[in-house]
Amino acid sequence: MTKTWSYAFANSKLRKVSRQKNHKDNSNLLEYPNNVTIKNLFTYFIFTPPIQYQPCLHSKINPNWIAIIKYAVKQFLVLYVTLFIGIQYLYPELQTLRGTENGWIHDLRCGTNIALPVAICWIFYCYISTYRVYLPAYAEFTGMKNTVFSTDWWNSEDLNVFWRKWNIPVHECLKFNVVVPLMKNGYSKMFSIFVAYILAGILHEYLNSLPLGVYNGMHMFFTLLEIPAGYITTYIGEKFGKRIGNLTLWAYLIIFHTIGTLFYGYKLRDMSVFLEAVN
């Protein structure tokens, strides 16, 4: 979806540039509309790891199969560890939520018990599996192994820096295809960022809620909540130093990932109770 959006927006921009009489030619880019071909489209959607569309795309693919096999082994090990932690530590605790008579004290105890396993599973699955194994293997296969997908997000002093470092392809897509165009059309920076967060929330709902069949708007809520949280963590980092800001960021990530996991546990509990009542 994001690639379709970037492809359409980038070509719309190139079309406007091509209509200008005295626009500067760039020898590194194909002249519009010569780039709008089936081959170029197929190469971008299938063989290009970055989301941001570029008219001049490589067509030479010479993967290092030994490196890809190593990535495959790493992916298996990472997923195995994630599944092991989930089965051994998360699943038993979430099963205790099935009892509808449990109160908030039990839910708090459950949250404290799963906080560390949730953080470890998030790091293993969302970061190591995706940004350190799968996407680099994809880039290796497509001949774009120098593509950067994330940097040292763990050292971020606030939430805004974290999002710039955590997912660079999506960040650049939202920045150049949403925020910058809206600001050029006269909208304020705050409104442009708000629209970008709404789109990010929709993407999170699609990627996380659809596989589980749980639609409660939780990801949209937490995504929009990160706008004021970003200002708060920035203030703390500037007021008390980067180290305290980084500790605040990690506390925020651990707490809200734990709350999100509990929300899913509640929703799945309600669904199981409903199914048992129907049967």
- 255 and 158 share one domain: yes
- Based on the structure, what is the number of domains in the chain? 3
- 177 and 278 share one domain: yes
User: Which has the closest alpha carbon to 167: 196, 190, 209?
Assistant: 196
159 within 8 A of 249, measured Cβ to Cβ = yes
- The domain containing residue 12 runs over which residues? 1-48
Rounded Cα–Cα distance for residues 235 and 218 (Å): 26
Rounded Cα–Cα distance for residues 175 and 192 (Å): 9
- The last residue of a domain, from among 124, 149, 174: 149
- The last residue of a domain, from among 130, 149, 168: 149
Does residue 58 form part of some domain? Answer: no
- 100 and 180 share one domain: no
User: Which has the closest alpha carbon to 206: 195, 193, 217?
Assistant: 217
Per-position pLDDT tens, the chain of length 279: 677 777 777 777 777 777 765 555 554 445 677 777 777 777 777 667 777 777 665 556 677 889 899 999 999 999 999 999 988 988 888 877 765 566 778 778 888 888 999 999 999 998 999 999 998 998 888 877 788 888 899 999 888 899 889 888 888 888 888 888 889 888 898 899 999 999 888 888 887 777 666 677 777 888 888 889 888 999 998 989 989 999 999 999 999 888 888 887 777 665 554 344 434
